[in-house]
């Protein structure tokens, strides 16, 4: 089984799909059990006065509809484990959960330490300026798209960000702001990517290109940059404290 604990919304969590597989239970039965003890599970959430679970939509593996899973933190996962009778498989999975939650906590400590270094602070500050310039250019590009008939031009904020993130980096986890967990060197890489995106957008608009062709130009240049720099993993395993 692959890693089951991940950083989700900036903290270690485990999805109920992974838990159902590890504990050899059907997923709907695990959800039913969590719902049965909902008040206890919510009290164990890290967020004070939490009134609802953190839900993640999971694409269907085969033909069918996407389904939802609950993302549990360490305390919730431990409590859920106490509700199952111990077998060798269950004990093995409990051991795996315990080990991975410890590893993810170490990783977060390492990330926080990285963010306190002068190099990281300086690169993040410079990167924000480049990002602001890119955002201003994207705003102009969106108006350009609307003028050419686009009905979903506003989506290009997300589309262009995903273009950079998916081609330049391998993101291990889900974060409110991926740039806040990048290393100092990755912040330099993404700064150059932002400038390349801005430059391609400006050139495409100046040449009067169709907006979809401008996006293709942006993507081509980002991919070329990624081929030169190579993809790097955000939240690398080697950053963990031994």
Cβ-count burial 194-223 (b if 16+ within 10 Å, e if not): bbbbbebbeebbeeebebeebbebbbebbe
Q: What percent of the chain has pLDDT over 90?
A: 60
- Sign of the CA dihedral with 156 first, then 161, 167, and 171 last: negative
Confidence (pLDDT) at 33: 94
- Mean pLDDT of the chain, nearest integer: 88
Place 49 in a pLDDT band, splitting at 50, 70 and 90.
low
Among 68, 94, 113, where does a domain finish?
113
Among 98, 113, 128, where does a domain finish?
113
Cα radius of gyration (the chain): 22
Tally of residues, the chain: 242
Q: Is 13 helix (H, G, I), strand (E, B) or coil?
A: strand
Cβ-count burial 69-97 (b if 16+ within 10 Å, e if not): bbbbbbebbebbbeebeeeeebeebbebb
Confidence (pLDDT) at 16: 95
Q: How many Cα atoms within 13 Å fall on the side-chain side of residue 160? A: 30
Confidence (pLDDT) at 242: 38
- Do residue 43 and residue 82 come from a single domain? yes
Six-digit token string for 77 = 């996962």
- Do residue 77 and residue 136 come from a single domain? no
Place 112 in a pLDDT band, splitting at 50, 70 and 90.
confident
**What's this model's pTM, rounded to 2 decimal places?**
0.67
Under 8 Å between Cβ of 52 and 38: no
Six-digit token string for 121 = 């602070």
- Do residue 121 and residue 223 come from a single domain? yes
**How many structural domains does the chain have?**
2
Confidence (pLDDT) at 47: 66
Among 93, 113, 133, where does a domain finish?
113
Residue-number span of the structural domain to which 228 is assigned: 117-239
- Do residue 212 and residue 197 come from a single domain? yes
């Amino acid at each position: 089984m692959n890693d089951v604990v991940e950083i989700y919304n900036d903290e270690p969590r485990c999805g109920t799909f992974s838990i159902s597989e590890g504990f050899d239970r059907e997923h709907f039965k695990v959800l039913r059990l969590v719902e049965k003890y909902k008040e206890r599970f919510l009290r164990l959430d890290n967020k004070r006065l939490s009134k609802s679970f953190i839900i993640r939509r999971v694409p269907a593996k085969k033909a069918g509809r996407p389904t939802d899973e609950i993302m549990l933190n360490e305390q919730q996962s431990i409590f859920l484990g106490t509700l199952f009778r111990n077998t060798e498989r269950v004990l093995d999975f409990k051991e795996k959960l315990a080990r991975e939650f410890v590893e993810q906590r170490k990783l977060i400590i390492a990330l926080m330490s990285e963010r306190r270094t002068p190099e990281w602070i300086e690169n993040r500050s410079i990167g924000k300026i480049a990002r602001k310039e890119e955002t201003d250019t994207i705003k102009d590009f969106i108006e350009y798209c609307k003028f050419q008939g686009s009905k979903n031009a506003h989506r290009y904020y997300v589309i262009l960000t995903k273009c950079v993130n998916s081609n330049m980096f391998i993101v291990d986890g889900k974060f409110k702001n991926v740039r806040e967990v990048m290393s100092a060197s990755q912040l330099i890489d993404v700064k150059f990517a932002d400038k390349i995106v801005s430059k391609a957008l400006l050139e495409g608009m100046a040449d009067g290109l169709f907006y979809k062709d401008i996006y293709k130009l942006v993507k081509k240049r980002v991919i070329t940059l990624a081929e030169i720099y190579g993809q790097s993993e955000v939240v690398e395993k080697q950053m963990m404290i031994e």
